[in-house]
Chain A
Amino acid sequence: MQFMLLFSRQGKLRLQKWYVPLCDKEKKKITRELVQTVLARKPKMCSFLEWRDLKIVYKRYASLYFCCAIEDQDNELITLEIIHRYVELLDKYFGSVCELDIIFNFEKAYFILDEFLLGGEAQETSKKNVLKAIEQADLLQENLDFQICLLPAPT
């Protein structure tokens, strides 16, 4: 996979993950172009399209579009299910996820994605294992926050 974009029906980018080195300008251009293309498509159309020399696989969940760019030899259907598994992971973690969760906890959305996909390839497809890793991290985090609350602010 070359990159993954999450954007809203209004075209607002909610998450971007790039697995190939590109400059910021190019990233912005690609994003603009793809958001426009995908939003222009009608609901019943197929989830795949050719774009430049890549294949775009996208799916809409409620108000959010999940859009992946894969290479020629990659499998479209399994990519569609990568998207779905990521949605499941978010859903399980946030408890019935909505766009706001991803806006306010964007860092978490990134952490979950990194546990699931790394370098554009599936790292761990088991839902249990991914969530276990994230929850462990949260545990570390909560302990630390607890400490911070107890300690007087440094002067």
Chain B
Amino acid sequence: MPAVSKGDGMRGLAVFISDIRNCKSKEAEIKRINKELANIRSKFKGDKALDGYSKKKYVCKLLFIFLLGHDIDFGHMEAVNLLSSNKYTEKQIGYLFISVLVNSNSELIRLINNAIKNDLSSRNPTFMCLALHCIANVGSREMAEAFAGEIPRILVAGDTMDSVKQSAALCLLRLYKTSPDLVLMGEWTSRVVHLLNDQHMGVVTAAISLITCLSQKNPDEFKTCVSLAVSRLSRIVSSASTDLQDYTYYFVPAPWLSCKLLRLLQCYPPPEDGAVKGRLVECLETILNKAQEPPKSKKVQHSNAKNAILFEAISLIIHYDSEPNLLVRACNQLGQFLQHRETNLRYLALESMCTLASSEFSHEAVKTHIETVINALKTERDVSVRQRAADLLYAMCDRSNAKQIVAEMLSYLETADYSIREEMVLKVAILAEKYAVDYSWYVDTILNLIRIAGDYVSEEVWYRVIQIVINRDDVQGYAAKTVFEALQAPACHENMVKVGGYILGEFGNLIAGDPRSSPLVQFNLLHSKFHLCSVPTRALLLSAYIKFINLFPETKSTIQEVLRSDSQIRNSDVELQQRAVEYLKLSSIASTDVLATVLEEMPPFPERESSILAKLKKKKGPGAVSVNELEEGKREGGELNGGGERGGDNSAIATSNASTPSPSADLLGLRAGPPVTAAAPSAGSLLVDVFSEAGVNDDGFLRDLEPPTESSDSLLAEGPGDSDSAPPSVVSEDPAPPLPESNELLNKFVCKNNGVLFENQLLQIGIKSEYRQNLGRMYLFYGNKTSVQFVTFSTTVTCPGELQSQLNVQSKPVEPLIEGGAQVQQVINIECLTDFSDAPLLNIKFRYGGALQNLTLKLPVTINKFFQPTEMASHDFFQRWKQLSLPQQEAQKIFKANHAMDTEVLKAKLLGLGMALLENVDPNPENFVCAGVIQTKAQQVGSLLRLEPKRASSDVPINRAQQ
């Protein structure tokens, strides 16, 4: 039986709960619940009207059943009825049921809103609070629509009771979070800021959460809060522990409010007013001083509350990043916590120090704690604390301590928890690359990584080591020797075989002079691993073998024999079989010269940002790797790749990629094609024949390199929410579906970059855009055609579905207010990551004379915008044209011309498409041929186009080949 049942006695409820608790099995429980549900249902449906008490009891039982995890599909109406009861207890249960079980049943919401409205206007503070709690708990859009205007009035009215103000403030915050567009700033805003001065601490505590959230979105409108917050903070910090009576918590004055004040200040830069700033610095110093004072209580609550404020103050100091003195003091304080007996404090200190490490003022101070942090990594018993220690080591790493930190991380990896191994591997790989002074150390580190944690070494990591070895000829010999030694181990990880196979295939000759690593020894070593490996690795090894034939003619017969064996040439795996057949053929018919050209050493890779860094960033979320770090990574990565030594290669990229997929790229599965050497174009066709299929399939990267198959037409016709979508006049707060005409509007811009995108009676949207390589910038001009201002004007650009991973679109915020007759501008930056077919959606919302306008258009970003025109001679053109013979490499479309064909107009259109229009290439002067390279971040796709106008029938067959 219940231990206490205070207040009322809903005896039936208590009995029911006891029954449930006494059930011996899940089945018994369900049986009892079903019995009760049937009972309640019959009561609700019965002829006899239930009194309020019974209704309350049954609604409460339903709530209990729901909280046990069962679905409840009735009783909502009875709960709503309870809301309008004038008995507090019934009303309260009604509200609780609604708060816990609400679903957006629109009819009910109307009824609920009615009841809430009545209670809000009842002037009974207890009822008002109940209603406000309900709004805050549900926070639905319908409620925001109904009450977003009323609540600010309640909040700032002079005669509102304190408790109601508190509820109103947080209620408004919840509505603002769910529907910011419905909470309109107004004259109440300045009065809300002044609640920071309220005498009632509870009111300040509640209001400050609202103010903080509003300040983040509208910093200018709320900036007066800074000086108010500083003076409030200063009063609290300097008060004696008993001054604040019940707001003192275990001898700490107003800890919640203090934390919130410090948090609010983090929305702003340091105060400009000298006096305010001085006062704030004084507060921060006092807080740091108090940390050194002996505790006023032994209770953990005392130290937690005190340290909560301290950590928040340190966050503010880090946020300002301008007071070296405070930063160093903060660092020393955290240093003390690193060895505190409370695990929680050690955890937080490690976490907080991570951010301190990135400040130039405190980086050195953080580094002094390296031994403690290493020790934490080794001895902490809680994996989440060890994780923090690893993060901090990563953050404090620089050239001076990289070797030590990398070594410690490597040795930790041997015993590290599985949950953090992958991340540790990425971190080690990044640090090793970033701070490598000598590359033999780098190679050793990565091979060690593979040895220790091979399963966790992702492809990015081993691709990267190969890129670097290929780009640095001073390390190639060392790398060959090291992998050769590493492969001697009886059980070595498959990733090691991959790296070993690749490097020996390229640079095995550098160690072949030593009889202990003669060509045959190398080959036998590699081949001894062959049978233990998966298909992709075997495929890679086969490529290494053919490279061996070129490097070491003396191995030719041995290798041919291997290729010829049934297990290769009749392998059930198509990929392996094809490679075996083709390599065997190549090695037997090609002359030494051809062989040498085809199998030439890999050309250097173009500089690129380390994909490992990107991966770590993705894994950890945006907060984990700072922009600085990325930039630095890029810079240092560049250095590693040989810096600007190969500036002239860029021009080669376009042409070579227009002709052939480079096998070297495929082998590594890297997305951007590396430049090929001067000999490549002539060897092009051979390379395609031998490698294109095989190479592309390697390592399952087919999908990355697969040519886009869409013709320009299908690309434009597609898009979500086609024509049967709702008309734009339907006013909903959710982004409207794209306008029916949006596809047509989009088509208008395929061949042009500037013009009017959209126009109706209210609004005109003009567009200007420019593209370079895989980047684009678009200027949108929103013109108000009326004489009335548009308010809460906002736009959002979204990439639906997979477009998200294909395009990176960033829009700058736009002015929320457009005066009548005025125009505002918005800049949108676009980065094409890989090929795409959908267009990004632009949603525009604003209020015109109180009515919400909501429309969605397609932004005219199409793949052809990223074309770079390429000139080529007739001979080249047709040679390449013929090479693109696979079905997915070409698309053809015959369509009727809509207009009379004018050569000049056609030329202008084709130029507008972005390709180079090639004169004197096609033998038929009526035809048009074009060439271009689509530039995306991931790859470059050469494309050829041929337009054959047929005047007689006015059909225009258009051929478009892509690769």
Contacts and interface: CB of A to CB of B under 8 A. Distances in A.
Interface of A: 13, 15-16, 19, 21, 24, 28, 42, 44-50, 53, 72-73, 75-78, 80-82, 84-85, 93-95, 98, 100-101, 103-108, 110-111, 114, 118-129, 133, 136-138, 140-142, 144-145, 148, 153-154
A15 B100 CA distance: 11
Interface residues of B, number: 80
Given A77-B307, A118-B136, A138 B344 contact: no
21 contacts: A46-B384, A49-B384, A76-B344, A78-B255, A78-B259, A80-B344, A84-B301, A103-B17, A104-B3, A104-B14, A118-B133, A118-B167, A119-B136, A119-B139, A121-B206, A126-B246, A127-B246, A129-B163, A138-B6, A142-B8, A154-B51
B256 A122 contact: yes
Given A24-B71, A77-B305, A78-B255, 5 more contacts: A75-B312, A78-B256, A80-B304, A124-B205, A141-B88
A53 B206 CA distance: 26
A98 B2 CA distance: 11
Contacts of A140: 88-89, 126
B3 A100 contact: yes
Contacts of B206: 118, 121-124
B209 interface: yes
A125 B209 contact: no
Interface stretch (B62-70, B553-561, B886-894): B62-70
B259 A45 contact: no
B416 interface: no
Given A126-B247, A137-B92, A138-B6, A119 B174 contact: yes
Given A21-B178, A75-B308, A45 B382 contact: yes
A124 B2 CA distance: 29
B93 interface: yes
A136 B99 CA distance: 21
B378 interface: no
Contacts of B382: 42, 44-46
A95 B257 CA distance: 28
A126 B9 contact: no
| Closest 6 pairs (CB-CB, A-B) | A77-B308, A119-B174, A104-B2, A78-B308, A121-B209, A118-B170
Contacts of B173: 119, 121
B308 A47 contact: no
Nearest to B177: A119
A77 B9 CA distance: 38
A149 to B, nearest CB: 10
Given A21-B178, A103-B21, A105-B5, A122 B209 contact: yes
Contacts of B177: 119
B87 interface: yes
Given A85-B249, A106-B67, A119-B139, A125 B256 contact: yes
A77 B344 contact: yes
B623 interface: yes
Contacts of B301: 81, 84
B381 A142 contact: no
Contacts of A124: 163, 166, 202, 205-206
B141 to A, nearest CB: 10
B347 interface: yes
Nearest to A48: B347
Contact of B64 (A50, A95, A106): A106
B171 A119 contact: yes
A99 to B, nearest CB: 9
Given A104-B2, A119-B139, A136-B126, A48 B247 contact: no
B849 interface: no
Contacts of B403: none
A72 B351 CA distance: 12
Interface in B194-218: 201-202, 205-206, 209
A121 B170 contact: yes
Interface string B1-18: 011111111000010010
Contact of A119 (B163, B170, B346): B170
A81 B167 CA distance: 21
A15 B64 CA distance: 10
Contact of B346 (A46, A103, A114): A46
Contacts of A122: 205-206, 209, 256, 260
A45 to B, nearest CB: 4
B768 interface: no
Contacts of B69: 13, 28
Contacts of A49: 384
Given A21-B178, A110-B96, A141 B205 contact: no
B126 A75 contact: no
A93 B4 CA distance: 10
Contacts of B53: 148
